Amino acid sequence: MTLNLFYFLSFVAIFASLLVVFSKSPVHSVLYLIVAFFAIGGHYLLLNAEFLFIVHIIVYAGAIMVLFLYVIMLLNLNEESEPHKSNLLKFAAAIAGGLLLLILVASLKGVDQLPAATMQHDVGYVKKLGHVLFTEYLLPFEITSVLLLAAMVGAVMLGKPEKYNKG
């Protein structure tokens, strides 16, 4: 049952990711990316990582995807304005991607000798994760908040029209 669910979620994730790359309109790409993110979130649930599942849905499907859709709407991108690479470059990109996959497959060849995971741990629960986050990783957590503040200030500064940035 769990294995069937794994196969289903993997199929959805891979299929949606391929459609992100190959769909013509940017809006469709964003919508397929949301599907792929939900499938990956389902994998987190399968791995007993409940906190990360919630954070993943909120951050990716809630914040990042809305940002993407908003920018596409703002720039009014559609199929006609879509730039295309030449066929030679597309062929070269496919070859390069295939070679990368080949290398990854070759490096993972001996990995099936690992014993199967038990997958019954409680590391993904909020209580345990919060304890680790606020004791062992407190300093990186605080630095992350500074990073988010810097990103916010930077985004506002970059997003303003040019004339307000003088002086």
Partner 1 sequence: MIPIDYYLWLSAVLFTIGVLGVLYRRNAIIVFMCIELMLNAVNLVMVAFSNYMNDAAGQVFVFFIMAVAAAEVAVGLAILIMMYRITKTTDINILNRLKW
Return the residues of window 81-140 that contact partner 1 according to CB under 8 A.
Answer: 81-85, 90, 92-94, 96-97, 100-101, 104-105, 108, 111-112, 114, 116-121, 123-124, 128-129, 132-133, 136-137, 140
Cβ-based nearer residue to partner 1, 114 or 167: 114
24 belongs to the binding site for partner 1 (CB under 8 A):
no
Cβ-based nearer residue to partner 1, 162 or 167: 162
Return the residues of window 26-55 that contact partner 1 according to CB under 8 A.
Answer: 26, 29-30, 33, 36-37, 40, 43-44, 46-49, 51-52, 55
Contact 65, 35 (CB under 8 A): no
Return the residues of window 143-162 that contact partner 1 according to CB under 8 A.
Answer: 144, 147-148, 150-152, 154-156, 158-159, 161-162
- Report in angstroms how near the CB of residue 28 gets to partner 1 at its nearest: 11
Which position has the token pair 């990995």? Answer: 111
13 vs 43: CA distance, rounded Å: 10
Dihedral, CA of residue 141, residue 146, residue 148 and residue 150, to nearest 10: -160
- Report in angstroms how near the CB of residue 78 gets to partner 1 at its nearest: 11
- Report in angstroms how near the CB of residue 101 gets to partner 1 at its nearest: 4
User: What Rg do the C-alpha atoms of the chain give, in angstroms?
Assistant: 21
Contact 40, 56 (CB under 8 A): yes
